[in-house]
Chain A
Amino acid sequence: MHREMHRGMTAAAALGAARSAAGRLLGMAVTLLVTSFLVFSSLYLAPGDPAGFLVKGRSPSPQELATIRQQYGFDDPFPVRYWHWLEGVLHGDFGRSYLFHQSVAEVLASRLPATLLLVGVSTLMIAVVGIGAGIVGALRRGTRTGSAVLLLVTVGAAVPSFVAAIVLRSLFGVNLGWFPTIGNGTGVLDRLHHVVLPAIALSVTFMALVTRVTRSAMLDELRREHVEVALSRGLPRRTVIRRHVLCNALGPIVTVGGLLVSGMLVSTAIVETAFGMSGIGSLLVQCVDQLDFQVVQAIVLLVVAAFVVVNTLVDLVHPLIDPRVGTAGGAR
């Protein structure tokens, strides 16, 4: 009988979880739709005429210009253009790049792996170094090591990625010659070798942020009475830190991690340009410069989509970290 009750409750809880997950997915779709509208309209309002770019270097007659405008649909009313674009996007067609004479999807696909590698390596560095330094900073508070962590956090948070990029390039790239200073590299090892300095430049600020959040979350949890209870039961300090301090401190760390995603993707524009890498970030700079609106739209939408997806995942992971989240109706 108890067993049945238990199963019934689990089913109800599962249903509730499925419903809230469905709600989140719907919210995600709405967010992306609204974003697509904002992205499209903001570029529509931006100064500069794409038709002018297409005929750059020539002096077309007004008729020719009108033909181009008509071909590309530049004269259609705004809602029509938005609808055409949105329809295309929903079918995976982001339009054509004026700059590369390729479909936007092809352009992005050729640039995406480099950026994913950069962001992936940076994320790993941020997670390992940021969380690690945060833990050390919390456990060694008041000692020389703890103060050193705090100092590095302050310095790290104050260094913009372009400054970090310049310093790293000149020091480890040019002077010491340990790392290449430009390009993406070919082959797995060479690519990794090329991505080390950019990844460090990209992660410094975010590392400092994660360290700070980890440290303060750990300190909050260390003060909890259940930590003292666990110690009073003879559990080794290391075990208590792992099971009752770090696990409980994960909530804020994961939340901040989710918020960092957009910042990192935007910063790739600076870092990739600084290191002459060919990725989404440098592509964005290039296309904004050359008024290649189709590509810019696709990249901005991609960044927003990545942000929304990651933060939806964070929301879905939260109840696993802290069972008090999101069980208001279900499991009681």
Chain B
Amino acid sequence: MPLLEYEALHVALPGMARPILDGVSLSVAEGEAVALVGESGSGKSVTARAALGLFPDGAETGGQVRVDGAELVGADAATLRAVRTSKASMIFQDPRAGINPVRRIGDFLTEQLRLVGGRSRAEAEARALELLGAVGLPDPPRHLRQYPHQMSGGMLQRVMIAGALTAEPRLLLCDEPTTALDVTTQAEIMSTLRRLQRDDGLGLLLITHDLDLAAATCDRIYVMYAGRIVETGTAAGLLAAPRHPYTAGLLGSSPPLDGPLTRLVPVPGTPMSLAESAPGCAFADRCRFVRPGLCDQAPPALAPVGTGLVACHRAEELTALGGPATAPDPATPALAATPALAAPATEENR
């Protein structure tokens, strides 16, 4: 049984044209590092929060989310508290916003153990000191007495990580843990996270928009677009041979970490908002391989292609052509310069 398992999770806000999450299924095994990649608004943060039973206010939910066997959709307060205090915890994007600015770091680190864990202040503080050392902070006793505004962003994110580990969870959810930090601190934070995850054999779900970071950190990757999983596979396989045009687009729009610099190609258009919906593939408007009559009929289902699963009507076809990254461009020259293709995309994105 996987540590974390989503089965056709459906989350919708009343009055919106499309659901936030539409049939999301994914799993994280014990000790496994998995990434969920997507643009802002794709639903990846909502997915991660669902693993703690945190759903948007007033949302309608369907499907299942299980952490260590405990069902979270429609769970009662006691179940939620049990999962949140002993099974899963989350590292949020912006530690400056995520840690109460008027309380001391020590309070942040010990409150969970003292208030719900039933430990004494001394026990909780000993645990906090141990964790502050484990996340690589230089002077734990002093940090315990500091306020958040007296620490740098990178140090605070380490505090956030320590806070997530206090209750010894089995599953760590990281929602863009390095996005709010300096580039130089990002690598340190990621390696700290990875080390702790390996040492304790934790399951890790990393939410990020950075496909390269995901591939460098995780074993498996899920790519999300407009509330659906559009491709999943092993990190190496996905990076070497993306099968979905969106995955290929993401890869093509970021500079390679090694090898010669090539011209970056942005994914045209903007992600679909909750006020928009499409009868067929949600990515069709932005896809350079879109085929009218096929892609706009019904949403594609995830189907095995190569080593992974892909939700694209033309996946087989494109794979035969060498994959969407290298397949001959249906429109030449460059897409952005072609009004005939660029215009409908923006028009339909009203």
Q: Which of A232, A235, A321 contacts B111 (CB under 8 A)?
A: A235
Q: Give the distance to chain B from A254, nearest Cβ to Cβ, in Å.
A: 13
| Interface residue ranges of B78-117 to A (CB < 8 Å) | 80-85, 89-90, 92, 94, 97-103, 111-112, 115-116
- How far does the Cβ of B180 sit from chain A's closest Cβ, in whole Å? 11
With contacts A234-B84, A234-B85 taken as known, whether A323 is within 8 angstroms of B99 at the C-beta atoms is: no
A233 touches B102 (CB 8 A): no
Interface 0/1 of A231-275, CB less than 8 Å to B: 111111001000110011000000000000000000000000000
CA distance A234 to B54 in the complex (A): 11
Please give the distance in Å from A166's CB to the nearest CB on chain B: 44
A247 touches B102 (CB 8 A): yes
Which of the candidate stretches A47-55, A155-163, A177-185, A220-228 sits at the interface with the other chain? A220-228
Interface centre among A233, A321, A324 (most CB of B within 10 A): A233
Q: In whole Å, how far is A320's beta carbon from the nearest beta carbon of chain B?
A: 10
Instruction: Tell me the smallest distance from the CB of A3 to a CB of chain B, in Å.
Output: 8
Interface residues of B in 165-212 (CB under 8 A from A): 167
Quick check: is A64 within 8 A (CB to CB) of the other chain? Answer: no
Task: Assess the B84–A6 pair: CB atoms within 8 A.
Answer: no
Residue of A nearest to B88 (CB): A232
A56 at the interface (CB under 8 A from B): no
B102 touching A322, Cβ below 8 Å? yes
Chain A residues lying within 8 Å of B103, measured Cβ to Cβ, are: 243-244, 247
Q: Within the complex, which residue of A228, A234, A236, A321 is in contact with B102, where a contact is CB–CB below 8 Å?
A: A321
Shortest CB distance A248–B (Å): 6
Determine the interface band of chain B, counting residues with CB < 8 A from chain A. 20 to 34
Residue contact B52 to A232, C-beta cutoff 8 Å: yes
Query: Is A2 interfacial (CB-CB < 8 Å)?
Result: yes
- Flag whether A331 is at the interface (Cβ < 8 A): yes
Across the interface, which residues of B come within 8 angstroms of A247, CB to CB?
102-103
Q: Evaluate contact between A225 and B98: CB separation under 8 angstroms.
A: yes
A1-44 contacts to B, CB under 8 A, are: 2-3, 5-6
Complex Cα–Cα for A123 and B54 (A):
40
Chain B contact residues, majority secondary structure: helix
Inter-subunit contact B116/A226 (CB<8 Å): no
CB-CB under 8 A from A323, the residues of chain B are 101-102, 147, 149
Residue of A225, A231, A247 most packed against chain B (CB within 10 A): A225
Contact residue among A5, A224, A235 (Cβ-Cβ distance under 8 Å from B97):
A224
Q: Which residues of chain B are within 8 angstroms of A332 by Cβ–Cβ distance?
A: 150
B97 touches A226 (CB 8 A): yes
Instruction: Decide: A229 and B102 in contact? CB cutoff 8 A.
Output: no
What distance in Å separates the Cβ of A39 from its nearest Cβ neighbour in chain B?
Answer: 39
Contact of B115 among A232, A239, A324 (CB under 8 A): A239
- In the assembled complex, B291 has its CB within 8 A of some CB on chain A: no
A86 at the interface (CB under 8 A from B): no
A228 contacts B116, C-beta separation under 8 Å: no
Q: A6-B145, A226-B99, A248-B102 are in contact. Are A233 and B112 (CB under 8 A)?
A: yes
**Chain B positions 127 through 170: 1 when the CB is less than 8 Å from some CB of chain A, otherwise 0:** 00000000000010110010101100000000000010001000
Cβ contact within 8 Å between A324 and B101: yes
Q: Determine whether the beta carbon of B102 is less than 8 Å from that of A6.
A: no
CB<8 Å pairs between A and B, sample of 10: A2-B142, A3-B141, A6-B141, A6-B142, A226-B100, A232-B49, A234-B84, A243-B111, A247-B103, A248-B102
Binding site for B on A (CB under 8 A): 2-3, 5-6, 224-226, 228-236, 239, 243-244, 247-248, 321-324, 331-332
Other than the given A5-B142, A228-B54, A229-B92, 12 more pairs (CB < 8 A) read A2-B142, A6-B141, A232-B84, A233-B112, A234-B82, A234-B85, A236-B116, A243-B103, A244-B103, A323-B147, A324-B101, A324-B102
Closest CB pairs A-B (n = 8): A234-B84, A234-B85, A225-B97, A229-B98, A226-B100, A234-B81, A323-B147, A233-B112
